[in-house]
Amino acid sequence: MNRPSPIVRLLIAFASCVLAATAVARTENATPRYDAAHRVFRIDAGDVTYAMGVNADGFLQTLYWGARLAPDDPLGPAVPAAERSSFDPAGSLTPQEYAGWGGAMTATPALKLRLDDGNRDVVLRYDSYRIDKGTLSIRLRDAQAGVAVDLRYTADAATGVVGRSARIENTGAQALTIDAAAAATWNLPRGDYSLRYLTGTWAGEWHLQTRAVTPGATVLESRRGSTGDENNPWFAIGRGDAWNEEHGDVWFGALAWSGSWRIQVDEDILGQVRVTGGYNPFDFAYRLPPGQALETPVFYAGYTGQGIGAASRLLHRFERERVLPGGTAAKLRPVLYNSWEATEFKVDEAGQERLAEKAAALGVERFVVDDGWFGARDNDHAGLGDWVVNRRKFPNGLKPLIDKVHGLGMSFGLWVEPEMVNPDSDLYRAHPDWVLHFPGRQRSEGRHQLVLNLAREDVKAHVLAVLDGLLKDNDIQFLKWDYNRNWSEPGWPQMSPDEQQKVYVAYVRNLYDILRELRARHPGVEIESCSGGGARVDLGIMALTDEVWPSDNTDPSDRLSIQDGFSYAYAPATMMAWVTGSPNWVNARSSSLDFRFLSAMQGGLGIGANLLEWSPAEEATARNYVAAYKTIRATVQRGALYRLLSPQDRAPWSATESVAGDGKQAVLFAFQRQGEEARPFPTLRLRGLDEKARYRYRVIHGQVAAGTPDVASGAYWMQRGLDLVMKGDLQAAGVIFERTDAR
């Protein structure tokens, strides 16, 4: 082999450094620009241009949001909308970036407030701007009302995702109360649109809905005190109703907030569409004395001209690189075992050790003890809030079990639900005032528990101290953080009546503080966000946790739809999926271990079945799947996801493909829920491959059609496609494609 000269090697090394620096730079914020002559702000990032300008009335209005434009393309000046009649004033028709409710405003405002003197009129006009380290801040003011709003804009250079938030400050001499505060309003150009969003319920989360955007309003929201699963704070809007996985202009967004929220989609009389999102104004009031401010959550949004599939991939990449803890350096999700299904509340040292031995023999990398290890916790009626080890179940504490688990080569995890308390607990008996409640009124229970008021600083300090002590005293690597009910009676008697509704903000801010502080004190500990399944999944909680639990429903057929819906908004890198027993507890549906494993391998793989009931043959099957998963998990968790066949609306088929970032591997999962009329499984045309490269396939499970070549070009697999042989109900296949000419 000819070796390059030292000079050539030096040049190659230099070029590699330049390329590496460029790659790092693409993960930084894009730098905005200001055209003073036309009073236009412009952000170019990824394949997107976002622009706004100050019009003659002093309002900041959206000029353009869409595919990236040439640097010298004109975008200003901003021109207010024409007044159509005395009933349609210009202020309501002009697409303002952040409108106050005041003047002749009749459209949905971003900010509504009232001053102590009775004034409720606030008109926000442009004041000034600054650009600092890629962040654009634009100040709007109503000097007479004594209100200033700082709008903050960031843009990810790699994906073009823009992040927006607002800081609302009382600059006047009297107190004011905020009745509604959005993080942002996103304005789309006039056109014909349809909206997609996610709905659900416990054990039935992540249903994709589509409806036309018509004159009037569509409201997505949670009033539950947490994110909720009835709606999720994500949206996608496309032109007309013809947009699909691969084609069409799509604007999409997700709100980073884990409390009550609202996203409202409005179409006005000119066909202009506004998306306004932030704190839910229902039962909301935030009092600001002079000199104080309220900061909103961040509302992220992006654009693509290549369909909803590309929108999901952009959002997935943004989440992996810019939202999740660790970013590109984050660890892959380990193969996990959770003991809940095997033992429920009947946990003890000997039983958990037997399960740990079984799990380790399968190749599991993390062992998690679920509910029942603490306090008087023999069922869900008692003990919640008393985070001390039950010495009847663990006579010597958790250390012997933890040592056993570590000795078997696995990390150790523990279930906690620190925001809740049973009335039958030592904590509640000592501090009945620590829960959300109205004095003298009922205290509604959910799952026999009440919600601790984390907005209180003493409650926050207690929860942090208890969890910190648990992690200090035990060698724990993982917490499954659960949250199993909605809010009710959200009173905060410790505060004056005009301050109590701050609870909606203060609670979530303190939750974030606890998570942030725990991670700082125990940087090796990873955390899963769980809320009776997927009722607290959003970009706010994801910034402080490593994975999420999308649903308590582990039926592998139901999970195809659940996981598909989840993938529209959130990255598979965050999604835990378990193999549990058969028949499944949700539907009493029986399925093969092959089907269950392949369904769960589309995310972070976990096992939750009772391993003591598995036969030697089942154990051998599981070992093979765990070993196979470890060879593909980087592609599944970090690769680009392509939804080839949708299982939505109880469709009989489902198929996904994940392509590794370096293009060397692709993984295909295919499922037939129900066979009918001898219909063959659809031909699967892969996506995301290099047309000119050569790919060899190998089968994890399933059967490919006779005559399928062992090796073919990327063009072949994407145009001719792959035929699978599937007959019967609940059939599955997994196929790995690897480049034979990998560079």
- Among residues 353, 254, 252, 266, which one has the least CA distance to residue 302? 252
* Partner residues linked to 113 by β-bridges: 178
Choosing from 268, 482, 594, 690, which is the catalytic residue? 482
Is residue 33 within 8 A of residue 50, CB to CB? The reply is no
Q: What token pair was written down for 80?
A: 């207010």
Is residue 573 within 8 A of residue 555, CB to CB? The reply is no
Helix 457-473 and helix 503-521: axis angle, to 10°?
20
> Is residue 552 among the annotated active site residues?
yes
C-alpha to C-alpha distance for 106 and 89, rounded to whole angstroms: 8
Helix (H) or strand (E) holding 716: helix 714-719
* Partner residues linked to 35 by β-bridges: 40
Is residue 311 within 8 A of residue 198, CB to CB? The reply is no
Residues with Cβ within 8 Å of residue 199, at least 6 apart in sequence: 207, 209, 230, 231, 232
- Which residue's entry shows tokens 């203060």? 506
Specify the 3-state DSSP secondary structure of 349.
helix
> Is residue 482 among the annotated active site residues?
yes
Q: What token pair was written down for 68?
A: 């990236």
Q: What token pair was written down for 482?
A: 């659960």
DSSP conformational letter for 327: G
- Among residues 229, 223, 227, which one has the least CA distance to residue 199? 229
- Among residues 126, 160, 133, which one has the least CA distance to residue 56? 126
Q: What token pair was written down for 742?
A: 């990998």
DSSP conformational letter for 676: -
C-alpha to C-alpha distance for 113 and 181, rounded to whole angstroms: 9
DSSP conformational letter for 346: -
596-634 residues labelled b (16+ CB within 10 A) or e (exposed): bbbbbbbbbbbbbbebeebeeeeeebbebbbebbeebbb
DSSP conformational letter for 572: G
- Among residues 177, 179, 169, which one has the least CA distance to residue 116? 177
Question: How far are the Cα atoms of 178, 236, 249, 311, 688 from residue 243, in angstroms, in the given order?
Answer: 39, 11, 7, 11, 19
Rg, C-alpha atoms of the chain: 27
Amino acid at 326: G
C-alpha to C-alpha distance for 351 and 339, rounded to whole angstroms: 10
C-alpha to C-alpha distance for 268 and 276, rounded to whole angstroms: 13
HSE value, Cβ hemisphere, 13 Å, CA-based, for 709? 11
Question: How far are the Cα atoms of 183, 324, 404, 470, 512 from residue 478, in angstroms, in the given order?
Answer: 32, 16, 16, 12, 17
C-alpha to C-alpha distance for 286 and 492, rounded to whole angstroms: 13
Is residue 183 within 8 A of residue 281, CB to CB? The reply is no
Is residue 596 within 8 A of residue 618, CB to CB? The reply is no
Choosing from 552, 555, 558, 594, which is the catalytic residue? 552
Residues with Cβ within 8 Å of residue 179, at least 6 apart in sequence: 112, 113, 114, 281, 284, 285
Which positions are annotated as active-site residues? 482, 552
